[in-house]
Copies of this chain bind each other. A is one copy, B any other.
């Protein structure tokens, strides 16, 4: 069976992070490696009630095949929430439910990318997006992600390249860096995009997880066309449903429906009905506030422990929301080598290299704070601080 694979398979690889997570399954390891929400915050009982009610009231419908676009009332809920929370006018017609927002990346790639087409990604960038694009053999352009957003000069250069079809960005509490685009940079990005023919893909899985500072307007809302917005219920409800969505105008939806039907006919009817019932019967704003209070405690604790226990030459981000901190070692030190040492000392993180399409970033690493509570963060950061001290100061 060796020689029958398509050309695209020569350049893609299994998710390095998913492989790392297997190493860290040892329960004695304190892992900051995963990108998981805190399951203690899942509204399990409310979802159980929602599931019970759906199956009592509309079991046959909830278990049958359904439309490729997704459950209409759920799309209306999303539309209304954009209006209330982001002051964005998005018609329910423009929303397609996807099997996680990850699926949206695959569908847009299928619709847009011929081999060699240019795709701007952030440096570092979200690995799931890099993987989805990679299967279509694009020409990646990695724009440096600074503390307040992309390097504007570099972005301007990339947008001038004739082959650049897509620019993919996570402007709020990006995975992996935890960085957000400032309002100034959002406006500059929108203005550059308006002059280009590039389609902007805005992924916003973490936008509601802001526990410091002010919500900032989406870049999607600053544009008039050539724009796609991805959303997800994974971080505000639960990821196990695999429920996300794409916002796209009519012309693009007409195209997206084709690979959607070919991919899975439609997203789980059962999951859509249960989640919708949960959203109707509960106050999702209260729930998001509850998540944000806990994540802020965990983030504050991780930041304060790092300040105390990491060597001074190690820098790190102090995100205002989301799930991740980004750590930078002095030049020349490898987080891959540190990883091996850390696992021996029973603490784990994700080395930065897989987030760079150009193979750089070896002196960076990602720490997740959402899935570790007060019982694990202090001890884990102390262990990692000791590793860093030994790693940077021995030899």
Measured in the bound complex, the distance between the Cα atoms of B100 and A262 in whole Å is 11
Q: A242-B267, A262-B102 are in contact. Are A48 and B44 (CB under 8 A)?
A: no
> Which residues from B are CB-within-8-Å of A242?
99, 264-269
Contact with B along A371-382 (1 / 0, CB 8 A): 000000000000
A39 at the interface (CB under 8 A from B): yes
A68 at the interface (CB under 8 A from B): yes
Interface size class of A (residues with CB under 8 A): 35 or more
B39 lies within 8 A of A63 (CB): yes
Q: Which one, A1-9, A147-155, A291-299, is touching chain B?
A: A1-9
A212 at the interface (CB under 8 A from B): no
A262 lies within 8 A of B66 (CB): no
A36 lies within 8 A of B51 (CB): no
Measured in the bound complex, the distance between the Cα atoms of B239 and A269 in whole Å is 8
Q: What's the dominant secondary structure at chain A's contact region? A: helix
Which of B47, B62, B110, B112 sits near A59, CB closer than 8 Å?
Answer: B47
Contact with B along A217-248 (1 / 0, CB 8 A): 00000000110000000100011111000000
A184 at the interface (CB under 8 A from B): no
Which of B63, B68, B99, B105 sits near A240, CB closer than 8 Å?
Answer: B63
A393 at the interface (CB under 8 A from B): no
A106 at the interface (CB under 8 A from B): yes
A135 lies within 8 A of B36 (CB): no
> Which residues from B are CB-within-8-Å of A60?
39-40, 42, 44
Nearest-CB distance from A310 to chain B (Å)?
A: 28
A199 lies within 8 A of B264 (CB): no
> Which residues from B are CB-within-8-Å of A99?
99, 242, 263-264, 268
> Which residues from B are CB-within-8-Å of A269?
239-240, 242
A87 at the interface (CB under 8 A from B): no
Q: Which one, A11-19, A76-84, A315-323, is touching chain B?
A: A11-19
B42 lies within 8 A of A63 (CB): yes
> Which residues from B are CB-within-8-Å of A40?
60
A14 lies within 8 A of B261 (CB): yes
Nearest-CB distance from A37 to chain B (Å)?
A: 8
Near B by CB (< 8 A), chain A positions 254-273 give 254-255, 257-259, 261-271, 273
A190 at the interface (CB under 8 A from B): no
A386 at the interface (CB under 8 A from B): no
B238 lies within 8 A of A64 (CB): yes
A131 at the interface (CB under 8 A from B): yes
A55 at the interface (CB under 8 A from B): yes
Which of B18, B35, B64, B251 sits near A39, CB closer than 8 Å?
Answer: B64
> Which residues from B are CB-within-8-Å of A5?
111-112, 255
A268 lies within 8 A of B271 (CB): yes
16 contacts between A and B (CB under 8 A): A1-B225, A6-B114, A6-B117, A9-B258, A34-B65, A36-B64, A39-B63, A48-B55, A62-B240, A64-B239, A103-B263, A131-B258, A238-B270, A240-B270, A241-B270, A242-B269
Known contacts A51-B52, A99-B99; can you find 12 more A-B pairs with CB under 8 A? A14-B261, A15-B68, A18-B67, A40-B60, A42-B64, A44-B55, A44-B60, A44-B63, A99-B268, A102-B262, A103-B264, A241-B270
